Structure 1
Amino acid sequence: MQRRWRRVVRTPLGLTATVFVAVVVALAVLGPVLWGSGAGAVDTDDIMARPSAGHWAGTDSLGRDILLRVLVASRLSIALALLAIAIAVLAGLLLGSAPFVLGRRSGRLASAVVNIAVAFPGLLLALFFAVVFGVGATGAVLAIGLAGAPAFARLTQTLVAGVAARDYVAAARTMGVGRLRILLRHVLPNIAEPLVVNATIGAGNALLSFAGLSFLGLGVQSPSYDWGRLLYDGIGAIYENAAAALAPGAAVLLAGLAFNLFGESVAKGLGIPVGIGLRAVVTTRAEPEPEPADHGDEPGGRSSDVVLDVRDLEVTVPGPSGAVRPVRGVSFDVRRGEAVGIVGESGSGKSMTALAVTRLLADDGRVDASRLEFLGNDLLAADTPVRRRMLGTSLAMVFQDPMTAFNPTRRIGAQLAEVATHHQGMSRREAVARAVDRLTSVRIPDADRRVRQYPHEFSGGMRQRAMIGMGLMGTPALIVADEPTTALDVTVQQQVLDLLAAIRAADDVALVLISHDVTVVGEVCDRTLVMYAGRIVEDLPAADLATAARHPYTRALVDAVPDMTTDVARPLATIPGRPVDPGDVPPGCAYAARCPLADARCRAEDPPLVAGPGDSPRHRVACWHAGEPLPDEPADLDTDELVESP
C-alpha cells in the first residue's frame, strides 16, 4: 500500500500536485497566525488604493490589505469546503450502503432516493438547500454537503456492490456475521481508496461551490470573510482596482486546481476510477412435489444421520426477459460423513444450488422449496441469531478462487479469529491461538508466523488450505466446496483433495464437492449428482460413474475425459450442440436436442428422477431411454457447433 502511494508521488504530476496541496494546506494553517493582525488593520488614509509595493493587491473600502485578507481567508475557505465534503461523503456512505445493510425491500427505497437526487444538477440542489437552511456559513456547509451526497451515494453503491460479490464477504455471511459488521470490517476498508480519491477531487468542487454561495450572499456573512465574500466585495470596485476581485478569484482557482490535480494524479497512479460529477427471499411452496423414494430409514422417510435435506429446491433470478429458473426441482440429501459430488457443464445450476443451500444467494434471488433443512433446522424460517451462530460454526464454505476468498486488507489470523470471537465468545488472544491451531491442522507450516501475514503473502495452495482452516474454526458438520481446485496446479489440487478427505475421515464431516471434473468426483466422493439445465438428471454411486452410468448425458461427460487408453489417433470425444439457456428451457427433456436417443416423447415430456427396474434405490435417473446403448454416431444433430465438455 505504501509503495503504491510512493509511486504516485514520484510521478511529475503527482509530485507537483502534492506540493501544490501542501502549500495550500500550509497557508490555511499558518495564514491567520502570520498575517491575521495585518489583514485586520484599518487605514483610513489609504482607502481603495491601487496595487503598490506596500499593498500588492491594493486595499479595500477600509484601507485593509486585500492580499493579506486573501491569505487569511484561506483557513475559513478550505475548512468550510472540507467540512462540506465530509458531510457529502458521510451522507453518501449512509445512503449508498443502505441497500447492502437493509436488504432488498428497504434498500430499494434508499436506491430510489439516490436515483431521484442524482437526476438534479448539484448547483440546483445546493441553492435549494441553502434556502432551506438559511443564509450563513452553517447553512451553506449543509447545503453543499447534502448537494454532493447523491454523487457519493451512487459511487458507494457501485463500489459496495462490487465488493459484496467477493468470496470473503460470502464467507463472512456463511459464518453468520451481521450485515453491518460485514460492511464495517470487510466492505468499507476495500472501498476506502476510491472514496478518498474522489473526496479529494470533490473538495476542489466544494471549494468552488462554497465561494459561489458566498459570492451570491448566501454563504459567509460579515464581519467574517472567505474567498467568495472577498470576491463579492471586490467585484463592486473592479473598475477602480481589478486586483481586488482577481486576487480572491485566483485563490479559489489555484486551490481548487490543487485538489483536483492531486486527486486525478492519485487516481491515475493507483488505477482507481473517478466517479463523482442481495438478501434472498425464501418461501415455501404451496404444493410440494412428491418426494423421491427411499429417503431414509426412519418412520416418515427421515434418517437420523441426514445433515442436509433438500426437497423440490427452485431458484428464481431476474433476467432480461423476465424471471429465470436456473435450478428446477432439485432434491437430494447428504448424510453424516458422506461425500456428494455435483457435476455438470457451466450453467447447469451446480453453484446456484450451493448458494441457495448456504443462504448466499444474491439479494434479487428467490428460493422456493418444500423442505430445506440443515441439521434439522429449517433454513426457510426467519433468520435468528441462534441460527446464524449454528450456520457460522457448523457449515463451512470453500470457494473456487483462493485469492478472492480472503479480505486483502486484513491479516489471515484476524479473519480466522473472527469466527471464534463472533460465535464462540473467545477472547482475541484465544481466537488467535485457535487460528494458529487450525492453520497447523490444514498443514500450513510456521502457522504462528503466518497468522500475521496478509493473503497476498500466501501461495494459491496455502490460501485454499487457509480457507478450509477458516471453516474448521468451528465444528463443521458439512463442508460445501465449490470447485476448490480449479485455480490450482495438479500437485496442489491433490493436496487439497487429500486434506478434505482427511478432514472427513477424522471428524465424520459431510462434504458437497462441486466440480467440472468427473474424474475428481469419482475418486473423492461416495455419490454423484449430475445436473443439466437446473435439474438432477442422474443420482448414482460415484464408483459406478465409469461403468454403470445410465443417462446419455452422464455417459457423454465420462467419455469426454481422456485416459491412458484413449486412442490418440482419433479426435477427442465432445458433446454436440450447446447447453440449454436457463431463460429458454424447451419443453420435455432439456437434453433432447443434444441426445442421440431422443424421440418425440423426450421432446414433449420431462422424465421424472426415479430408480429404474433393477437399480438400487440410491441410483435414480431422469431419462425415458436410461441405459439404452448409444449409436456409433449421433443422429439428427447439428454438429456445426461443438462444445467440449469439461
Structure 2
Amino acid sequence: MIRRSKGLTAGLTGLGLIAVLAVVAPPVWGDDATALSGAARQGASGEHWLGTDALGRDVFARTLVATRLTLVMTVLATAIAGTLGVLIGTAVWVAGRRVREIGLRLIDVMVSYPAVILALAVATILGAGTVASVIAIGVAWSPAFARLTANLAASVAGRDFVASARLLGVPPHRVLTRHLLPNIAEPLLVLLSVAFAGTLTALSGLSFIGLGVQSPSYDWGLLLNTGLEALYTNPAEALGPAVAITLTGVFAGFVGDGLAAGADPRRGRNAAVRGRGAAPARGPEPAPVPDDALLVVDDLRVSAGDVDLVAGVSFHVRPGEIVGVVGESGSGKSLTAMAAARLLPDTVHADARTLRLDDLDLLGRTSPDRLATEIGVVYQDPTASFNPALRVGGQLTEVLRRHRGLGRAEARARAEQALKDVHITRPAARLKQHPHELSGGMRQRAMIASALLTGPRLLIADEPTTALDVTVQAEILDLLRDVNRRDGTAMLFISHDIGVIASLCHRVLVMYAGRIVEEIPVAELRAGRARHPYTRALLAATPRLDTEPGEPLATIPGRPPAPADRPAGCAFASRCGHVRPECADVPPAFVPLGDLHGAACHAVEDVPTERAR
C-alpha cells in the first residue's frame, strides 16, 4: 500500500492533465497545427501564442497535438523496457544455477553501457522511424530494470516461502508470478516512473537528431529540432516543446519520489516484503539401521566449495519417533535437516552414502508430489515463511489443490479444519487474512497446520519455538506432542535449547562443528548420563529450578571454530576440560555406550557419569 504525499498527488495530477491533453488536443487543435499560412516565422502574439514555424503553422497547436504521439511512444518504450527487464531479472532466479550465473553476468555487461549508446546502436541497426526509436529506447532501458529486478528477486528467492513453493513442485512460472513479482512490485513501480522520464528524454533526443519520428509526423523532439533553427529570431518556437518535455519529466519524477517515500512494506494486501581446515576422513561404515527406519541418513556431507559444513553425519528416524538435534549456532543442525528436505541453497552441495525417506531416494531425481506430501517443514520464523502478499487461505490450499487434486471448496474446508486442529480461533476468518494480521504464535500454528495438511510421514521442525515467548513456546511444544501422538508423525526437531529438546524428544543427536558428537536416549539425557564433554557442558549451562540462590550459571568458554578453520582432530578440544594429546590430531571415533547411546570422544571413559550441574 502506498501512502499518499503532496509530491505524489502533484505528480499524478500533472500527468493526468497531460494525458487528458493527449486525448483532446488532436481533434481540437489538429486543424490549426497543420494549416499552412503565409505568416512564416512570426513571433509570439495573441493569435499565435508561440509564433509560427517556417511553413506558417501554429507552434502552440503543434506542441499540444504532439503530446499524444510523444506520450504513446514513451509509454510503449517504458513498457518494453519494464517487461523485458523484469522477465530477464526474474528468469535468472527461477532458472537453474548455470543459467543464473550466465544471466547475471549478461546483465552486468548490459548495464555497463550507457542507455543512450545502446539506443543509438539499436536505432542505427533498425533505421530511423517511430517504431525503431521506441524499440531502441525500450531495449536500451531494459538493463536497468533487469539489474534492479535481479537484486530484488535475490532477496526474495532465498525466503522460506519460495523454498517451500519449490519443494511443493510449483512450476517456475508460478513461482515467478505468485511469489517473486508480488513481493518486488513496489520498487519496480518506482523505477517505472523514473524510467518514464528517462525514456521521454531519450525518445525526444532521437527525434532531435533525426533518428526518431520522421515528417510529416512530429513529436516534441522533432518540434524542438525545428524550433532551434529559429532560436535567435523566435525563441518561443523552441520554448514550447522544451517546457512540455521538462514538465512531463518533472511530474514523472514527483510520482517516482512519492512512490519511493510512500511505500510501506508492512501495510496493505500487496505489501512487499540480500584458510581451509583439514578435510575430515570419510565416516565409518554404516551402523545397523532398523528395518522399519523411515528416514536414513548415512555419512551426509554438506559442503560449500571445498569446505565441509556438515562432515559425515549418520542417523535414522523411525516412524512415530521424535528425534531432537541440538547444538550451538553453526553446528550444522539446519543444514542437516534441509539436506533431508532437499531445500539447500544452490551454493551448497550435499552428498551421502545413503539419504532416503523410506523408499524415496533424496539424492536422486525425486517425484515432486511425493516430496511435497511426505515431508513437512516448519521453519523458525513464520513471518519469513509465509508470502506477505498472499492471504493465508491461498497459501494453505495451494499444496492440496496441486498435489492432492482437490477443488477450491474442499481444499479450503480442509485448511479450515487444519487451523482448527492447531487451536486457532475463528479459522474461517483467519484464512481470509494476510500473515501480518496474525500474532506470532498464531502464525507459527498456521505454519504447523500448513506443514501437516498433506499428512506428511516426516515433519522437520527447524527451531520452531526460538522466536516465541515461553508461554507460546510451551503451547507449540504441546501441539507438536499431540500431533505425534494422534497421527504418529515422525519428527526431526531442531533446537539450540537442550531443555526444550529434553522435554519433547525420544532421542537426541548432539551436533558440534558439523558432526554428531553424541547420540543419547532422552531418558539418559534427563538422568544426566551424557558422556560427551560438550553435551555435559550444554546441560550445565541450562538454567535449573533447583539451582542455589546466587549460584552463577555455567558457561562454555570460547566459541566453535569456523568451518574452514576446523582442526584435524577434535573440534571441541580447545574448549574441553578432558582434552588429551591425541585430540589435536586424531578425529575421535564414535564409541558405542549402550542401546542407541554413543559418543565421539577420546576421553569418553574419563567423563564422570553423575548428573551435570
Q: TM-score range by the shorter chain?
A: over 0.9
**In the aligned structure 2, how far is the partner of 1:238 from the partner of 1:155?**
41
**In the aligned structure 2, how far is the partner of 1:463 from the partner of 1:79?**
46
**In the aligned structure 1, how far is the partner of 2:605 from the partner of 2:438?**
47
Q: Is residue 2:476 matched to residue 1:496?
A: yes
CA contact (8 A) 1:200 1:263 kept: yes
**In the aligned structure 1, how far is the partner of 2:28 from the partner of 2:296?**
76
Identify the residue that residue 395 of structure 1 maps to in structure 2. 375
CA contact (8 A) 2:580 2:602 kept: no
SS at structure 1 position matched to 2:218: coil
**In the aligned structure 2, how far is the partner of 1:34 from the partner of 1:436?**
59
Q: Is residue 2:551 matched to residue 1:570?
A: yes
Q: Is residue 2:210 matched to residue 1:223?
A: no
**In the aligned structure 2, how far is the partner of 1:543 from the partner of 1:196?**
58
Q: Deviations over 1:311-367 (max 9, x none)?
A: 11111125xxxx432111111111100001111011111111112111111111111
Distance 1:307 1:239, change over 3 A: same
Match of 1:515 among 483, 491, 495: 495
Deviating more after overlay: 515-524 vs 567-576: 567-576
Q: Is residue 2:238 matched to residue 1:251?
A: no
**In the aligned structure 2, how far is the partner of 1:375 from the partner of 1:29?**
67
Identify the residue that residue 561 of structure 1 maps to in structure 2. 542
- Amino acid paired to 1:65: D
**In the aligned structure 2, how far is the partner of 1:512 from the partner of 1:430?**
30
Identify the residue that residue 177 of structure 1 maps to in structure 2. 170
**In the aligned structure 1, how far is the partner of 2:9 from the partner of 2:174?**
37
Identify the residue that residue 413 of structure 1 maps to in structure 2. 393
SS at structure 2 position matched to 1:404: helix
CA contact (8 A) 2:530 2:609 kept: no
Unaligned runs of 5+ in 2: 266-280
Identify the residue that residue 449 of structure 1 maps to in structure 2. 429
Identical columns (%): 47
User: What's the TM-score, normalizing by structure 1?
Assistant: 0.89
**In the aligned structure 2, how far is the partner of 1:342 from the partner of 1:35?**
78
- Amino acid paired to 2:303: T
Match of 1:580 among 561, 581, 587: 561
Q: Is residue 2:446 matched to residue 1:461?
A: no
**In the aligned structure 2, how far is the partner of 1:102 from the partner of 1:544?**
48
Identify the residue that residue 343 of structure 2 maps to in structure 1. 360
Q: Is residue 2:31 matched to residue 1:48?
A: no
SS at structure 2 position matched to 1:544: helix
Match of 1:35 among 9, 29, 33: 29
Identify the residue that residue 303 of structure 2 maps to in structure 1. 316
- Amino acid paired to 1:570: E
**CA shift for structure 1 position 24:** 2.3
- Amino acid paired to 1:25: A
Identify the residue that residue 91 of structure 2 maps to in structure 1. 98
CA contact (8 A) 2:189 2:259 kept: no
Q: Is residue 2:327 matched to residue 1:344?
A: yes
**In the aligned structure 2, how far is the partner of 1:126 from the partner of 1:266?**
27
CA contact (8 A) 2:531 2:608 kept: no
SS at structure 1 position matched to 2:346: coil
**In the aligned structure 1, how far is the partner of 2:400 from the partner of 2:224?**
60
**In the aligned structure 1, how far is the partner of 2:465 from the partner of 2:382?**
9
**In the aligned structure 1, how far is the partner of 2:338 from the partner of 2:601?**
27
**CA shift for structure 1 position 179:** 2.8
- Amino acid paired to 1:364: T
Identify the residue that residue 480 of structure 1 maps to in structure 2. 460
**CA shift for structure 1 position 630:** 6.5
- Amino acid paired to 2:23: V
**CA shift for structure 1 position 61:** 1.6
- Amino acid paired to 1:48: R
CA contact (8 A) 2:297 2:355 kept: yes
- Amino acid paired to 1:64: R
**CA shift for structure 1 position 271:** 5.9
Q: Deviations over 1:45-66 (max 9, x none)?
A: 2211111111111111221111
Distance 1:178 1:40, change over 3 A: same
Q: Deviations over 1:373-395 (max 9, x none)?
A: 11211111124xxx110111111
CA contact (8 A) 1:114 1:154 kept: yes
Task: After the TM superposition, list the runs of 4 or more consecutive aligned residues in structure 1 that deviate by more than 6 angstroms.
Answer: none
**In the aligned structure 1, how far is the partner of 2:239 from the partner of 2:191?**
28
SS at structure 2 position matched to 1:263: helix
Q: Deviations over 1:244-263 (max 9, x none)?
A: 11211111111111111210
Identify the residue that residue 619 of structure 1 maps to in structure 2. 597
Unaligned runs of 5+ in 1: 273-286, 297-302, 633-646
Q: Is residue 2:611 matched to residue 1:628?
A: no
**CA shift for structure 1 position 294:** 2.7
CA contact (8 A) 1:312 1:330 kept: yes
SS at structure 2 position matched to 1:306: coil
**CA shift for structure 1 position 442:** 1.4
Distance 1:33 1:340, change over 3 A: farther
**CA shift for structure 1 position 220:** 0.8
CA contact (8 A) 1:292 1:610 kept: no
Which runs of structure 2 are paired with 1:7-86 in the superposition (5 Å)?
7=3, 9=4, 11-42=5-36, 44-86=37-79
**CA shift for structure 1 position 174:** 2.6
Identify the residue that residue 605 of structure 1 maps to in structure 2. 586
Q: Is residue 2:309 matched to residue 1:326?
A: yes
CA contact (8 A) 2:532 2:607 kept: no
User: C-alpha root-mean-square deviation of aligned residues, in Å?
Assistant: 1.7
Identify the residue that residue 167 of structure 1 maps to in structure 2. 160
**In the aligned structure 1, how far is the partner of 2:243 from the partner of 2:492?**
67
Q: Is residue 2:97 matched to residue 1:117?
A: no
Distance 1:469 1:476, change over 3 A: same
Identify the residue that residue 133 of structure 1 maps to in structure 2. 126
**CA shift for structure 1 position 631:** 13
CA contact (8 A) 1:596 1:631 kept: no
Identify the residue that residue 362 of structure 2 maps to in structure 1. 379
SS at structure 1 position matched to 2:563: coil
CA contact (8 A) 1:549 1:627 kept: no
SS at structure 1 position matched to 2:564: coil
**CA shift for structure 1 position 570:** 2.7
Identify the residue that residue 199 of structure 2 maps to in structure 1. 206
Distance 1:610 1:82, change over 3 A: farther
Q: Is residue 2:529 matched to residue 1:548?
A: yes
**CA shift for structure 1 position 556:** 0.3
- Amino acid paired to 2:342: R
Identify the residue that residue 270 of structure 2 maps to in structure 1. none
SS at structure 1 position matched to 2:258: helix
- Amino acid paired to 1:89: G
CA contact (8 A) 1:84 1:144 kept: yes
**In the aligned structure 2, how far is the partner of 1:609 from the partner of 1:63?**
97
- Amino acid paired to 1:41: A
**In the aligned structure 2, how far is the partner of 1:478 from the partner of 1:624?**
34
**In the aligned structure 2, how far is the partner of 1:34 from the partner of 1:345?**
75
Q: Deviations over 1:563-611 (max 9, x none)?
A: 1111232321100011111121111000001111112100010112231
Q: Is residue 2:293 matched to residue 1:306?
A: yes
**In the aligned structure 2, how far is the partner of 1:509 from the partner of 1:170?**
22
CA contact (8 A) 1:408 1:454 kept: yes
**In the aligned structure 2, how far is the partner of 1:202 from the partner of 1:605?**
62
Identify the residue that residue 273 of structure 2 maps to in structure 1. none
